[in-house]
Amino acid sequence: MNKVFNPETASHEGAALRGDYSNARDDFSIRQDWSAYTDADHALWRKLFQRQISLMPRYACAEFRAGLDKLDCADGVPDFDKASERLRAASGWELVAVPGLIPDGAFFKHLAGRRFPVTSWLRKPEEVDYLVEPDVFHDFFGHLPIISDPVFADFLQLYGERGLEAEKRGAVKYLARLYWYTVEFGLIRRAGELKAFGAGILSSAGETPYSVQHTDPLRVKFDRERIMRTSYLIDDYQKTYFVIDEFDELFAALDTLDIDAFLKAEATKPEIGVGQRIETDTLIAPNLARTA
């Protein structure tokens, strides 16, 4: 998610834990306080979980599904300490609880240390279908499963490292686009079929089938420079998705990125709009919709 952190406008209404940065440590982490979740929270989690899990066999990549199995989180809002143990065993990552969006620098530092910041509060029942800021369902269900894949896990750590570097050079905006179109809204092609791995897709009941099957959005073969020049929407389904074939492509894209060279050459070219197609795009067709 890519909204600028602003404690002045951070929401204080609603569930006990929402948007309360007052107890946050210097690194913006907090204690999860699992006992504060209500029965209604756990019931809402199960409802969200059941709706998404039914979509996963058809729309999520195998690595995401394997990671989700390991996290064992069907029964209610998960206990972060137990989940950290499982993630540590799978790929050497853990999670830290945060009150919501945190500043870029703090976010990058956690990723560079193989800690994924997970928002602790859960949306309200009237928000089941739509939320602009991340909550615990988006962060946990959407992000954590794929982090148990070793290649993706290393890519995300490297993103944190390169993010810290980008911050010093005033290039966070371009790194954030790479994150948006991969970690949040990435698709992968497997045996000619599109599957999703992005957290923004896989935590959304509507965007999960939309991203893979709908004929409206553009699907473009992964292209680092192209993505870093493309703006994005935070409050609607994406108009463009980028497609990889292997998670190694993500790691390599960051590993070989020369931030200064990008700023000098690519960043001076015109910005590419959401849903805009350019000449060099390799387009990829959606999966044909079949009845389940």
Site for Fe ion, rule CB under 5 A: 1, 134, 199
Task: State yes or no: residue 254 binds ligand HBI (CB under 6 A).
Answer: no
Q: Annotate each residue in 71-110 with x if it binds ligand HBI (CB under 6 A) or - if it does not, as one string.
A: ---------------------------x--xx-x--x---
Task: State yes or no: residue 117 binds ligand HBI (CB under 6 A).
Answer: yes
CA distances from 149 to 21, 33, 43, 183 (A): 31, 28, 29, 13
Question: Helices in the chain by DSSP H: which ranges?
Answer: 39-53, 56-59, 62-71, 80-91, 104-112, 136, 144-147, 150-168, 172-179, 199-202, 207-213, 224-228, 248-255, 259-264
Task: State yes or no: residue 231 binds ligand HBI (CB under 6 A).
Answer: no
Closest CB to Fe ion among 59 and 185?
185
How far is the C-alpha of 78 from the C-alpha of 89, rounded, in Å? 17
Question: Could you say which of 179, 222, 241, 262 contacts ligand HBI (CB under 6 A)?
Answer: 179
Is the distance from CB of 94 to CB of 180 less than 8 angstroms?
no
Q: Which listed option, Fe ion, ligand HBI, none, makes contact with residue 44 (CB within 5 to 8 Å by class)? A: none
Q: Which listed option, ligand HBI, Fe ion, none, makes contact with residue 19 (CB within 5 to 8 Å by class)? A: none
Task: Compute the least distance from the CB of residue 139 to Fe ion, in Å.
Answer: 6
Task: Compute the least distance from the CB of residue 289 to ligand HBI, in Å.
Answer: 31
Q: 160-175 burial string, b = 16+ CB within 10 Å, else e?
A: bebbbbbbeeebbebb
Facing residues of 240 across strands? 218
Q: Which listed option, Fe ion, ligand HBI, none, makes contact with residue 101 (CB within 5 to 8 Å by class)? A: ligand HBI
Helix (H, G, I), strand (E, B) or coil at 245: coil
Beta strands 187-190 and 115-119, pairing class: unpaired
Task: Compute the least distance from the CB of residue 270 to ligand HBI, in Å.
Answer: 22
Q: Which listed option, ligand HBI, Fe ion, none, makes contact with residue 199 (CB within 5 to 8 Å by class)? A: Fe ion
Closest CB to ligand HBI among 117 and 198?
117
Closest CB to Fe ion among 1 and 87?
1
Structure tokens at 66: 């394997």
In one letter, which amino acid is 184? E
Given phi > 0 = left and psi -120 to 50 = alpha, else beta, which region is 159?
Answer: alpha
Task: State yes or no: residue 242 binds ligand HBI (CB under 6 A).
Answer: no
Size of the site for ligand HBI (CB under 6 A): 13
Task: State yes or no: residue 176 binds ligand HBI (CB under 6 A).
Answer: yes
Residues contributing to the site for ligand HBI (CB under 6 A) = 1-2, 98, 101-102, 104, 107, 117, 119, 134, 172, 176, 179
